[in-house]
A = this chain, B = another copy of it.
C-alpha cells in the first residue's frame, strides 16, 4: 500500500529521512564481492554513494578491505573508522597538499593525476599516484590513445612510479540495457589495455588497472586485463539505474520516507515534504522520482504512475492522474530517488526499516 504510516510511526519520522533496506544492501554487496572474487579482481567500493560508516562496515563484513572516496574529508572520516587503504578518485587538487601530507603519513592513500606537474606534486606529498585515463567519457584524464601524454605522465611520477592506471567510464550511465552497457565495457577494456601497454612500455614493467562505474561492473561477467573494480552506486542503486535496466526492482535499497503535507484538486495533486534539499534536483524523463508502495516489512512496487513532477526547495508535487491514492496530510510515503548518491549526500546517515540509525561519515 502507499501510506507507510506504521513504518513512519515506528521510526519516529517527522521530516524526510533516507530509509535503507539493510538486507538489500547486504545482498548487493555480497553479489558484487562474489563477482569480484570469481573474476580474481580486487573490489574497492566507492563510499561516496552512502558516505556511511555503517555501510562501509557491511562491506568489510563481506571481505572488503579497501575503499574509494571522492574527497579528502571522506578519506579522513573512513580512516578514523579503521580503513587504511583508500583511493581518492578525483584529480588531486594541489591546494590540498597539506591535508594529503597529513593523511598519507598514516595510511595507504591513493590520488589521481592527469597532468605531469600534478602527478609529481601528489607523489611529493607521500601519496600513491594513479594515472587517470579518459576512455571516452571526456571529463578528466589523459586519453587512452595519447601515447606521448601518457608516457610523460607515467615518467613524471618519481620512484617507485605510479600505482597504476585508473578510469571511470561515465558514459555507461547513458547506456540503456545490457547490450549497450557491455559495448561500453568492451570499449573501456580495450582502451585500458592500450593505455596499459603504453605506460608499461614507458616504465618497463606492467601496472595495475582499475575501472569503476556501476553499470559495467554490475552487468559484465568477465574483466580480462582488469585488476580492480570501484563501483559505488551498486549498494543502493536507484531509479536511474533501474530505468536503464542495470538492476532489478528488488535491488533498490534506499528510499526517502517523507510526510504528505497537501492534497489538492480532488486528490490529483499531492504535496510532499521532500524538496531539492532532500532529493537533489536530479531528474529523469519522468520527473524527480516516484512513489513506492510499502508492504511491511519491505518496499513494494514502484509506482511510475505517481511521479514527482515538480520540486522546489522543500516540497515536491506528485501528479496522480485519477486521484485514487486516498492519501491525506499527515500520511507518510516512500519516494524512489532518481540518484541515490545525491539523496544520501543530502540526508546523511539514514535509518533501516528496523530502526537502526546508520552512522554518517559526518561530512554534512
Which residues of A does B touch, CB under 8 Å? 8, 13-15, 48, 70-71, 73, 90-96, 98-99, 114-115, 117-118, 134, 138-140, 170, 259, 261-264, 269, 271, 273, 276-277, 280-282, 310, 312-315, 317, 329-330, 332, 341-342, 345, 364
Contact = CB atoms under 8 A, between A and B. Distances in A.
Contacts of A282: 276, 281
B15 A261 contact: no
Contacts of A8: 95
A169 to B, nearest CB: 13
A268 to B, nearest CB: 11
Interface on chain A toward B: helix, strand, loop, or mixed SS? mixed
A273 B329 contact: no
Given A117-B329, A317-B139, A15 B96 contact: yes
11 contacts: A14-B95, A14-B98, A15-B73, A15-B95, A90-B315, A95-B330, A139-B271, A140-B262, A170-B312, A276-B282, A313-B341
A262 B91 contact: yes
Contacts of A71: 15, 314
Contacts of A312: 139, 170
A128 to B, nearest CB: 18
A95 B332 contact: yes
B95 A271 contact: no
A31 to B, nearest CB: 23
Given A14-B99, A312-B170, A92 B261 contact: yes
Nearest to A134: B264
